[in-house]
A = this chain, B = another copy of it.
Amino acid sequence: MKFFQVKSVEETFKLISDQIKPLTEYITKPLFEALHFVLAEDIYAKENVPDFRRSSVDGYAVKAKDTFGSSESIPGFLTLVGEVKMGQAPHQAIQASEAMYVPTGGMLPEGSDAVVMIEHCEDLSGLINVYRQAAPGENVISVGEDMRQGELLLKKGTMLRSQELGALASQGITEVVVVRKPVIGYLSSGDEIVPIDTDKLAPGQIRDMNSMTIGALVNGWGFTFLYGGIVPDNREEYKKVAEELLAKTDCLVISGGSSVGTKDYSVDVIQSLGEPGVFVHGVAIKPGKPTILALADKKPVIGLPGHPASAVIIFHLFGKVILEQLQGLKSQEKQLTFAKVTKNIPSSPGRTDFIRVRLFEEEGQWYAEPIFGKSGLISTLVQSEGMIEIEAPKEGVQKGELVPVRIFQ
């Protein structure tokens, strides 16, 4: 019989990072459709933002030195010389001992170098009493303070979140060149698997629920999912369907048949799809040991365990990183929450354990309550909000230990 040559979780992440290259197909997207795409080029600021000196408060534009020494008990006195209108240049400059009303976002008049907040002034029929002194530059956003013309605004490889899109919009940039998002093909393998809409199951059959969980994750992460159906445990037919689906997609995900049993054809079929082939078969992880990762003519192929919960956990862990790398993003895992575990959790050294947890908060502290169950059970995933990792060398975690939690979306 065959055995796994298992890799550690760290080795697996390292291999993914080395092997998976971003798609090199770039597309131009209007800004309002570019959310969560990755930039394919550096972008430089075309203009200063703001391109005029702007007030950050409602108040009076002044020469700061005219306010020096002003206080509640000894106010300064300035002559009001009109107001600045939003979206327009001031009608005149100000001179010594003059003040001009300027609303938040309004343009400062020539001659002024600070704004005193309206709350700190009193308008007595055109004579402005100033109850606080202002430092030069106070409440003023200077030209180019937000973005300076010619500077590197966003680097190639940046994921476009709402704030990056806002920065581009402020520059009048209305379209961007981004990396095309990958299309993910999916197959379920196994004679026991039947379509989800099967009304009555025959003995030994189960519905193709992995296509639903994996499809939802792919869609939820913003990628396109192409369902290729169910292939029976027949090597030739399996290979044919997998080849056709891989040709139409950027990455193939296959659930089931990934172990080393007599009918587990996945590793052979995946190996036959193209060079360099399988680089991981078996990971020292629970659940999810029978995991396959391969590269077939530059396209990643992922063989997931058939157990529903294992498939979800492995796809969260390795699948997401693979798809993000395809999309041109450097692997980032910043969405970790820390929580205290509520019970001792034993673990076997030499294997990374992922434990499903329910999270709850008490007085500003998150707690992670382990949900134990066989790796095949989907109900344990439904009850859980994330998973904690017990690293390979550890024999477990103690009640009260602070651990990082990966949140399920």
Residues in A lying within 8 Å of B, measured CB to CB: 1, 31-32, 35-36, 47, 49-52, 54, 56, 58, 84-89, 103-107, 118, 141, 145-147, 153-154, 161-172, 174, 190-194, 196-199, 201-217, 219-220, 233, 259-263, 306-308, 312, 334-338, 359, 364, 366, 374-379, 381-382, 384-385, 404, 407-409
Contacts and interface: CB of A to CB of B under 8 A. Distances in A.
A31 B216 CA distance: 10
20 contacts: A35-B219, A50-B206, A56-B307, A86-B190, A86-B191, A86-B233, A87-B202, A104-B261, A105-B192, A146-B376, A162-B216, A163-B382, A163-B408, A166-B308, A169-B213, A171-B207, A172-B196, A172-B199, A334-B385, A337-B338
Contact of A306 (B105, B162, B217): B105
A187 to B, nearest CB: 16
A74 B234 CA distance: 39
A50 B209 CA distance: 12
Given A87-B204, A88-B202, 18 more contacts: A31-B196, A49-B379, A86-B190, A87-B193, A105-B376, A141-B374, A146-B378, A162-B217, A162-B312, A163-B382, A166-B312, A166-B381, A167-B382, A169-B213, A171-B207, A174-B197, A337-B338, A364-B404
A208 B31 CA distance: 13
A31 B212 contact: yes
A383 to B, nearest CB: 9
A206 B170 contact: yes
Nearest to A47: B201
A118 B312 CA distance: 25
A377 to B, nearest CB: 5
Nearest to A336: B337
B263 A86 contact: yes
A173 to B, nearest CB: 8
A52 B47 CA distance: 68
The secondary-structure label for the interface of chain A is: loop
A364 B208 CA distance: 38
Contact of A210 (B1, B87, B166, B192): B166
- In the complex, the count of this chain's copies comes to 2
A88 B172 CA distance: 63
Nearest to A158: B382
- Which has the most chain B C-beta neighbours within 10 Å: A85, A106, A161, A312? A161
A118 B212 contact: no
Contacts of A377: 141, 145-146
Contacts of A378: 49, 146-147, 163, 166-167, 170
A308 to B, nearest CB: 6
A359 B133 CA distance: 37
A213 B162 contact: yes
Contacts of A86: 190-192, 204, 233, 263
Contact of A220 (B49, B84, B107, B162): B162
B190 A259 contact: no
Contacts of A336: 337, 366
A205 B1 CA distance: 74
A190 B334 contact: no
B364 A147 contact: no
A220 B36 contact: yes
B118 A1 contact: yes
Nearest to A197: B174
A305 to B, nearest CB: 9
A338 B335 contact: no
Contacts of A54: 376
Given A162-B312, A337-B334, A190 B87 contact: yes
B261 A58 contact: yes
A87 B191 contact: yes
A292 to B, nearest CB: 15
A216 B35 contact: yes
Contacts of A145: 374, 377
